[in-house]
Amino acid sequence: MRVIIVLVSVTILLLASQAAAAQTTCLPNGCGAPDSTIAAHRYPNVRSLPVDDALLGDRDYRPVTGPLAIYSAPDSPQPESYGEGYTFVTAQEEHGQWVKIGDEQWVRADSLGESYRPSRFAGALLPPDGNLPFTVAWTLTHLRGSKTPGGPEAADNRFLYRYSRVYIYATVRVDGYDWYQIGQDQWVHQFKVAKILPAARPAEVDTHKWISVDLYEQVAIAYEGEKPVFATLVSSGLEDWPTNEGLFHVYVRFTRTLMSGAYDQADFYYLQDVPWTMYYDDQIGLHGAYWHDGFGYRRSHGCVNLALTDAHWLFQWSESEYDYRAGDYTGPAVYVYSSGEYD
């Protein structure tokens, strides 16, 4: 009987040891960057783009809460009907039960939701000297880090809001996934952050200014020559409407444009006044998205969604790539790739 008890005890100890090993590869001796290193580099050496409230609020964006019916004038017969879908319009004037959304375009006021305020998220300007001692990332959720890689969130850890910028000081592999150290005794699962990972300039890039889009991290980076100068979170195409990988060039751009598609289908969409759009792959483009705040996650029909502040910055920044006097309407190169594979 004592032999059996001893064997059972040994088995329990082995299982406990294996469980601990599965949780983290560095306990009980600890792992990660020392406290002194974190204290010396607590905040990422990047600068957020300033958010212009006037820019965000220059239009009254309204969601359509039911089928979209556009009338040529208030109470006009036989409206142009598009059915129900993911629809936003821009309210220009309001007269009683009618809202004007364009020239000879009116909708019923009771078909619209409340005004929608665009996201205040903005990307980051990278240091001119390239001095980033550690990889920079954004948190994708509100969180408190775990005390150890693979552990539960710790209630006494510093609370971080979504879109917080952090350094990644160390990486530990746990059960097939990366856990990143983002502070003293603060570790997060790889799915909770999006990293800025500058790409090597492809030999085929033939413009001084160019843009990379990392579909895995959901991060776009702007470059001047070999130097990354700006980075931000994006939202690319969902699985059914993927954003194509490859090397492209911006071939046309619009300060505001209508985007619509999938008529009479479940995924019908109609989006007025899509801002600062740069098409680079047929009907796929980089553009501002005022209708959501889900940057860092895939959610589009193939385009690369940006917060308005970022889309406006990229639109203006890329202007110098065009030489209109010489008839050059080809814009910056756009390199779309994936640094990893979706789980």
User: Which residues of the chain fall short of a pLDDT of 70?
Assistant: 1-30
**3-class secondary structure, 146:** strand
Q: How far is CA 223 from CA 46, 95, 114, 188, 340, in A?
A: 15, 47, 39, 29, 21
**3-class secondary structure, 5:** helix
How many angstroms separate the first and last alpha carbons of the chain? 48
Spell out the SS3 assignment of 38-83.
HHHCCCCCCEECCCCHHHHCCCEEEEECCCEEEECCCCCCCCEEEE
Q: Give the model's pLDDT for residue 263.
A: 84
Q: Give the model's pLDDT for residue 226.
A: 95
Q: Are 151 and 189 in contact (CB under 8 A)?
A: no
Q: Are 195 and 137 in contact (CB under 8 A)?
A: yes
Q: Give the model's pLDDT for residue 324.
A: 76
DSSP 298-329: --BSSSEEE-HHHHHHHHHHGGGG-BGGGTB-
Q: Give the model's pLDDT for residue 320.
A: 92
Distance, CA of 272 to CA of 287 (rounded, Å): 13
Q: Give the model's pLDDT for residue 267.
A: 87
Q: Give the model's pLDDT for residue 25.
A: 56
Distance, CA of 257 to CA of 277 (rounded, Å): 7
Q: Give the model's pLDDT for residue 134.
A: 97
Calculated CA dihedral for residues 251, 255, 261, 263, nearest 10 degrees: -140
